[in-house]
């Protein structure tokens, strides 16, 4: 009986509940940013939500309703490129939640926002909306609109922050004509901050670095890495293209805080070594995120 109860507990769709909770929470933060930081000072968001702000400015039609209607054609595009039914359900949840929250919050938040300072609204609007985008992405959904196009471009290897700028240029031009070019420029900064915040949420709090060390004295470096830093290292055999001499290449993944320790160690053991340090998006396996915890 106990085994059956445990089996039923494991079969319960906890992953689905987590994903949709992240999506709805992210949509709420996006709507909060729109109502509290963007609309009061005429800062235009990107994509369909930004276009909806412009339509609202001229017609008074509800922003949330315009977001919902404007996403229908892009929703069909996303169905084709971003995962069919699974994409559809998650994106529908995100778009409907964003639309509802955007119009409902109008009744509860001050119409003038918290401050009239454009810089503060740009910073906080970008961070809050970016965190919202990141949560939606973690839930394996999209927020619709140009977010769908950004996700398609991201699948092609273009960073999210750049994708937002590429897909939202037309809306920013409309914002410049409708409000002021100063507001449009601040909106561009806000979009960049939003993209950076989204990437930070998706990547987590761990900033990783990859280190390649080409050295003639690998043993003491390896020992210190293994026993002092408690990090693993991969030993590769290399050959200089110009000299033809055999050299050892060490490949290591460390946290950002450990980079200076690595450099000091190599400088002490082999000042003639060649060191290359790069950024890593994610590390899975022993010493980092277990593969079993990835989706």
- Domain limits of the chain? 2-203, 208-293
Contact 196, 130 (CB under 8 A): yes
Looking at residue 5, its pLDDT comes to 47
| Helix (H/G/I), strand (E/B), else coil: 283 | coil
208-293 topology per CATH: Alpha-Beta Plaits (3.30.70)
| Averaged pLDDT for residues 264-275 | 86
Distance CA 132, CA 29 (A): 5
Q: Regarding predicted confidence, which is higher, 120 or 77?
A: 120
Contact 194, 223 (CB under 8 A): no
At 255, list the tokens.
């946290």
Q: Which residues of 85-117 are buried (b: 16+ CB within 10 A; e: fewer)?
A: eebbbbbebbbbbbbbbbbebbeebeeebeeee
- Which of these ranges, 118-127, 198-207, 264-273, has the smallest mean pLDDT? 198-207
The model's pLDDT over 69-118, given as tens digits with 9 standing for 90+, comes to 988 887 777 676 665 566 678 888 999 999 999 999 988 889 889 999 99
Average pLDDT, the chain: 82
At 23, list the tokens.
């999506």
Distance CA 261, CA 267 (A): 10
The model's pLDDT over 163-205, given as tens digits with 9 standing for 90+, comes to 666 767 788 889 999 999 999 999 989 988 998 898 888 766 5
State pTM to two decimals: 0.71
Looking at residue 8, its pLDDT comes to 46
């Amino acid at each position: 009986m106990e085994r059956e109860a445990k089996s039923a507990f494991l079969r319960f769709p906890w992953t689905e509940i987590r994903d949709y909770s992240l999506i709805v929470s992210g949509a709420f933060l996006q709507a909060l940013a729109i109502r509290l930081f963007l609309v009061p000072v005429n800062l235009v968001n990107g994509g369909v939500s930004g276009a909806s702000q412009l339509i609202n400015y001229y017609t008074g039609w509800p922003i949330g309703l315009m977001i919902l209607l404007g996403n229908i054609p892009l929703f069909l595009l996303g169905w084709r490129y971003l995962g069919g039914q699974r994409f559809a359900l998650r994106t529908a949840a995100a778009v409907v939640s964003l639309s509802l929250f955007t119009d409902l919050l109008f009744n509860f938040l001050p119409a003038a926002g918290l401050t009239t300072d454009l810089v503060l609204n740009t910073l906080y609007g970008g961070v809050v909306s970016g965190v919202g985008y990141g949560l939606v992405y973690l839930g394996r959904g999209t927020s619709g609109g140009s977010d769908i196009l950004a996700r398609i471009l991201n699948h092609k290897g273009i960073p999210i922050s750049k994708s937002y700028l590429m897909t939202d240029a037309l809306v920013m031009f409309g914002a410049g004509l409708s409000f002021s070019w100063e507001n449009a420029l601040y909106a561009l900064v806000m979009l960049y901050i939003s993209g950076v915040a989204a990437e930070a949420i998706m990547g987590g709090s761990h900033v990783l670095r990859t280190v390649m060390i080409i050295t003639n004295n690998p043993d003491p470096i390896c020992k210190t890495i293994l026993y002092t830093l408690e990090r693993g290292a991969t030993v590769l055999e290399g050959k200089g293209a110009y000299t033809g001499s055999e050299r050892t290449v060490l490949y290591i993944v460390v946290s950002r805080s450990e980079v200076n320790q690595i450099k000091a160690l190599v400088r002490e053991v082999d000042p003639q070594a060649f060191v290359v340090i790069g950024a890593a998006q994610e590390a899975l396996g022993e010493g980092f995120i277990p593969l079993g915890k990835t989706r």
